[in-house]
Amino acid sequence: LAKTTQPISMDSYEGQEVNITCSHNNIATNDYITWYQQFPSQGPRFIIQGYKTKVTNEVASLFIPADRKSSTLSLPRVSLSDTAVYYCLVGERPSGTYKYIFGTGTRLKVLA
Amino acid sequence: DTEVTQTPKHLVMGMTNKKSLKCEQHMGHRAMYWYKQKAKKPPELMFVYSYEKLSINESVPSRFSPECPNSSLLNLHLHALQPEDSALYLCASSQDGQVREQYFGPGTRLTVT
């Protein structure tokens, strides 16, 4: 079963743009890709979702290539409060059975 | 109200105890989820209820028993747990049973002794 993989960690400085990728080779045909932010001892918080191409909201952008086997979350001008773990979440059908799969998570540390 | 509440916040139980975790939402969502999260790992889906019916059971051991009394409430009954079941248990809800915008509660930190 292919894992939905992300870089383990990233460091960035305040004010920079951060791009976090997720590889999801087994994404189900009709499923959306969603991204979540999680702070310690809290539940994940929804950031953005998309199906293909580019989606933008007030906090982030999501880029999805045509084959949909990966996605990139873009956080513009990060601040210290963006230090958190970021997860992608996709639906997959690795052997015919539908499964919700969280990515391995990326620990983002924003430095002053 | 966009909040999912979970009680208790912390729970310590012995391996012979029976306890329950509770989750509540008042957003009119028709899908509710239980996840288990170990330290420094992503959440793992356990159960999904859609329109108050169990739609997904991710091969969870029978010592975990979910219950959905109505569209706003979700329980997880625990019995004869093992120390390796210690984790953060997260409840979530969404408008329907798709993998889209899920609202998560703060979780219950469970320790099995």
Query: Could you report the per-residue pLDDT of B20-71, keeping only the tens digit for each?
Result: 999 999 999 999 999 999 999 999 999 999 999 998 888 899 999 999 999 9
pLDDT category, A99, cuts 50, 70, 90? Answer: confident
3-state SS of B7-58 is: ECCEEEECCCCEEEEEEEECCCCCEEEEEEECCCCCCEEEEEEECCEEEEEC
- Locate the chain B residue with the closest alpha carbon to A103: B42
Distance CA A24, CA A55 (A): 18
pLDDT category, A108, cuts 50, 70, 90? Answer: very high
- Locate the chain A residue with the closest alpha carbon to B36: A43
Higher pLDDT, A38 or B97: A38
Is the pLDDT confidence value at A57 over 70? yes
Distance CA B52, CA B49 (A): 6
Preceding peptide of B8 cis, ω within 30°: yes
A34 near B CB under 8 A: yes
Query: A100 to chain B: which residues are within 8 Å by CB?
Result: 45, 48, 56, 99
Predicted local distance difference test score (pLDDT) of residue A41: 87
Predicted local distance difference test score (pLDDT) of residue A58: 95
Contact A34/B100, CB-based, under 8 Å? Answer: yes
Query: B104 to chain A: which residues are within 8 Å by CB?
Result: 36, 43-45
Instruction: Return all residues near B37 (Cβ < 8 A) that are at least 6 apart.
Output: B43, B44, B87, B88, B89, B90, B107
Contact A32/B100, CB-based, under 8 Å? Answer: yes
Predicted local distance difference test score (pLDDT) of residue B24: 97
Query: A46 to chain B: which residues are within 8 Å by CB?
Result: 101-103
Interface probe for A, chosen from B34, B55, B94, B99 (most Cβ of A below 10 Å), is: B99
Return the residue matching tokens 């970021």. A86
Distance CA B39, CA A57 (A): 30
CA-based nearest residue to A89, from A38, A32, A43, A42:
A32
Q: Which two tokens stand for residue B38?
A: 């170990």
Contact A105/B104, CB-based, under 8 Å? Answer: no
A48 near B CB under 8 A: no
Q: How many angstroms separate the most distant Cα atoms in chain A?
A: 47
Residue A37: exposure state from Cβ atoms within 10 A (0-12, 13-18, ≥19): buried
Contact A91/B99, CB-based, under 8 Å? Answer: yes
Q: For the segment B85-102, what is each residue's pLDDT rounded down to a tens digit?
A: 999 999 999 998 765 789
